[in-house]
Structure 1
Amino acid sequence: MQFTFLGTSAGVPTRQRNVSGFALSIDDHRDWYLVDCGEGTQHRLLQSRHSLARLRAIFISHVHGDHCYGLPGVIASANMSGRTQPLTICAPDGIEQFVTAVRQYTDLHTLRYPLHFVRSDLENAVYEDELVRVSAHALSHRVPSFAYRFEEKPPHTLNQDSLRELGVPRGPQWGELQHGNPVTLTDGRQVTPEQVCEPAWRARVIVVGGDNDQPDLLLSALKNTDLLVHESTFTEDILQQVGPQYMHSTAAMLAKTAERAGVPHLALTHFSQRYREKSSPGKRHIDELRAEAAEYYRGNILVARDLDRYEINRKGELSKLDSE
């Protein structure tokens, strides 16, 4: 699984960071998925490998502008570029109304492609295609907010030992089972693909969280997860200064959850503009967030930066790829 940070700032952009956006694809597959779409996401996409023509689905965590104000522009640009394939938008209540209003008042009445909305705030909300299964998980914020759990669907291979034990002769029936079809043997027994097929490799899982002040809400969703991408807006001392009313996580809160869940890789993102890459008067250094997380988490920590690309290989190992 490959992913690119399109925006890593909280609330407002800075000179180095755009607001929230995260692109995910399965290895080198050109089709991809977008999580959150803050204002300016299109500009970041122009610096990436991703095409709006190959965008399969958009997942919006919540209705705050730094996570959704770029959505109408992406929809309109995809239309102007000639997209014809359907596009699914998974989002809580309010996002469909927002898009509908913008289309109504900006003369974007006709789209060349179907636009499908899936409510992520409804019970057991799931998006699924042949590449991934994505489930929504409720968080704690000032408005309904959600994390999305992306689980890949690896191709299946035949287990020849199981085939021999069940007496399935080598030949066309193997091919039928490989393609997901049950077969009937000469003695009348039926063999299903589930009996003789197994994933070619362990399914990789990434959980991408929206704004949230209770990371422990994700503990069940983090089972067998390779990577947690989650807001780390403040360090603990800054949270004490600003107070809890904004309902965001600190690096310490997030790290404690990741450690409890046994997640091997943790990505900090959605940083307050108080934190910068270079120390300057009145600003904090971004590495303070990493240092705080490292006090509570023993796994691999990465501090997200715009346009940084990473890959989780089939062994679950995380590595940085060349920049976009």
Structure 2
Amino acid sequence: MTARHRTLRRATALAAAILLATGCACVGLTVHPFVAQGGQPVSSAGAFTGPTTPAHPVKQSAQPPSGWAQQRTTSVGAPLMATSLLQPDPTDPRAFVAAAWLSPDLQFHVVPGTTQPGGTWSTTGQVPSALRSSLVAVFNGGFKYQDLTGGFEAEARVARRLVVGQASLVVRRDGSAQVGAWGTDIAPSPDIVAVRQNLMPIVEQARSVPGLLTLHDGSWSTEHHQVQRTPRSALGQRPDGSLVYVAGPDLDLAQLAAGLVQAGAVTGMELDIHPNMVVFHLFAGGNATGPGTSKELLQVMTAASDRYLTPDRRDFVAVTEQRTIR
């Protein structure tokens, strides 16, 4: 365990400063000495002690799970983003995740970094200025490419060969997004403008894939990367087409997948891991001069508030309210 990991673990256990952008209330609970933003409680040992909100099907199409706190809506009040705190492993109170629901009415943009994956792009490793006034969220991509066999496509140009079977975030020309296995769940198509692959799927058919901790064949990088307790993130898709991003500060791979399942994902992929690599910023509504104010999904996310608004070495995903054809 590195010094940075030890510092983060101590901060989680001793300070318990786990502030979620959920806005929901946990009524009738007295928790000392820390209570998370919106009333989500954390004990002095850093363990989650509040109620969980598993995702359940709703009758309306593309609605956030019942009980999740809306963070962004359209001008007429339709939900665009909602958040909650989940505990996917009831035997381990430290294994909690923050979850963000993202409406399929949003537009997704895979933005290459300045060095990952390499090459020359129009976006210079940051959110393009034309998108900033409508920015809803930004979040991290996947592993570094030297640790992967998978591929990358952006701006309708393949920079690294796409691999059949790899877990993939796919963005189409209209900005819609899909998560699934390349070549099986998602077929190549002329309207695909971006693909971010990262290892093999961790959720299929609404269940965690078997062997996430015990199968060491390279499907999910190395054994160490599978079993290590570290900050992790993942992205999944619900049956109604909405996406869910989950992240937690102290998870193994199986617990991460369980968080996606609890959030209602039927397919899912791991994204980046480790301190400062797990980033999800929520934005208030912007104006003609730029994006609104931002906040972290989890306070233990240590990236600067302007990350991805200035040139960044790593690729990432920007989410906007506008639905322009690119």
Same fold, TM exceeding 0.5? no
TM, length-normalised to structure 2: 0.24
Q: Higher Cα Rg: structure 1 or 2?
A: 1
TM, length-normalised to structure 1: 0.24
